[in-house]
Amino acid sequence: MSLPSRYLALLALLSLLSFFNIGACAADVSSPINHGSENGARGNHFEHASMKDDAHNAHTHQQMGTDGDHSYTCQAIFPSSSSPTFPTLNAGAKTQALIAFHNYDPSNTVHILLASGNLIFRNQDRVLQNFSVVRNARVVRPGETVTVDYRFTPSPGLDPGMYSVFLGLHCMDTTTNRTFLATAFRGEVLIGDTLNSDARTILTYFTLIAIILVMVYGICARLGLIRKIVALWRSRKQHAQPRVHTETGTVDNNYDPEYISAEHLRYRDAMLKRHNSPASARKKN
């Protein structure tokens, strides 16, 4: 494969990776559907209960459910919310919601099966995004309180603005084996801008920078600038190394006979003769 063909193949690969990444970003936003936000509760018994807001913490939602069979309290808080008045979330960032469920019934046990959520258009009953359905299988005995950690991610393609969020727990009454949906949160939230530090954004920037670098390198190679730069660098590297005379038999340039004085050489010869003379005399004897 020739050199320009390699550049074109690498450029095509990076372009495909970039388009795949952008397509994945667009696929996160689900198309709006016409049914209401309570579609997850169809076929289940929905507990119509009174709502109580926490006066001290506005991003807390509480539901009191009462029926002839059971009673409960379901409440959700957003510990990572930065707003003191209502939840403020960031598009594309994972959000944590802590859902507390308390069983008031003295004789009935409740099983928490699933936790789910939806993002809804403001003042409309159309679902914009369905969050993940998380299986829990938690057992709530009479008088007990359990906390469910539910995490969801608003789509990074959402425009900043006000939206409605619905979070709920799908539970089962062990006495009658009847399922019901306990509403943990249903209110307005503020969706902020997408954070620039998420992995998908970094990958997009990296892909674009790589494409630009490959294009610049291909143009420079086509014009012959790469060879000139390499030749210039090699010539400078060769001129930078000083030429040092090395005596035959030495390993490196640490020994240079030009810097040894004549007096030292005479002393060395005298010492060699002194050490060699007894040995030569013994050999003659």
The full set of domains in the chain, from first to last, is 1-29+196-246+255-285 (no CATH), 31-192 (2.60.40.10)
Kindly tell me if the per-residue pLDDT of 84 is higher than 80.
no
The residues, ordered by sequence, that sit 6+ positions from 96 with a Cβ below 8 Å of its Cβ are 78, 79, 80, 149, 150, 151
CA distance 52 to 256: 93
Lowest mean pLDDT among 9-23, 35-49, 56-70, 264-278: 35-49
Kindly tell me if the per-residue pLDDT of 59 is higher than 60.
no
Kindly tell me if the per-residue pLDDT of 29 is higher than 50.
no
Q: In which region does residue 49 sit, left (phi positive, over 0), alpha (psi from -120 to 50) or beta (all else)?
A: beta
Which two tokens mark 31?
A: 């198309």
The sheet that has 60-66: what strands, in order across it? 50-53, 60-66, 71-77, 95-103, 145-152
| pLDDT computed for residue 209 by the predictor | 92
More confident residue, 270 or 281: 270
Average pLDDT over residues 206-228: 88
pLDDT tens per residue, range 96-153: 999 999 999 888 899 999 999 999 988 777 888 999 999 988 999 999 999 999 999 9
Which two tokens mark 210?
A: 């790589």
Cα 183–78–60 angle (5° rounding)?
55
CA distance 239 to 157: 57
Number of helical (H) and strand (E) elements in the chain, helices listed first: 4, 12
Nearest to 130 by CA among 90, 166, 94: 166
Kindly tell me if the per-residue pLDDT of 62 is higher than 80.
no
Residue 24: how many other CB atoms lie within 10 Å:
13
| pLDDT computed for residue 260 by the predictor | 74
- Which of 166-170, 171-175, 215-219 ranks highest by mean pLDDT? 166-170
CA distance 87 to 80: 9
126: which DSSP letter?
-
Kindly tell me if the per-residue pLDDT of 228 is higher than 60.
yes
| pLDDT computed for residue 284 by the predictor | 55
Which two tokens mark 18?
A: 């970039």
Q: What is the residue type of 16?
A: L
222 sits in which H/E element:
helix 199-223
Kindly tell me if the per-residue pLDDT of 49 is higher than 80.
no
Nearest to 97 by CA among 113, 75, 129, 122: 75
81, 88 in Cβ contact below 8 A?
A: yes
- Which of 13-22, 186-195, 241-250 ranks highest by mean pLDDT? 186-195
The residues, ordered by sequence, that sit 6+ positions from 147 with a Cβ below 8 Å of its Cβ are 98, 99, 100, 101
| pTM (two decimals) | 0.49
Average pLDDT over residues 203-226: 87
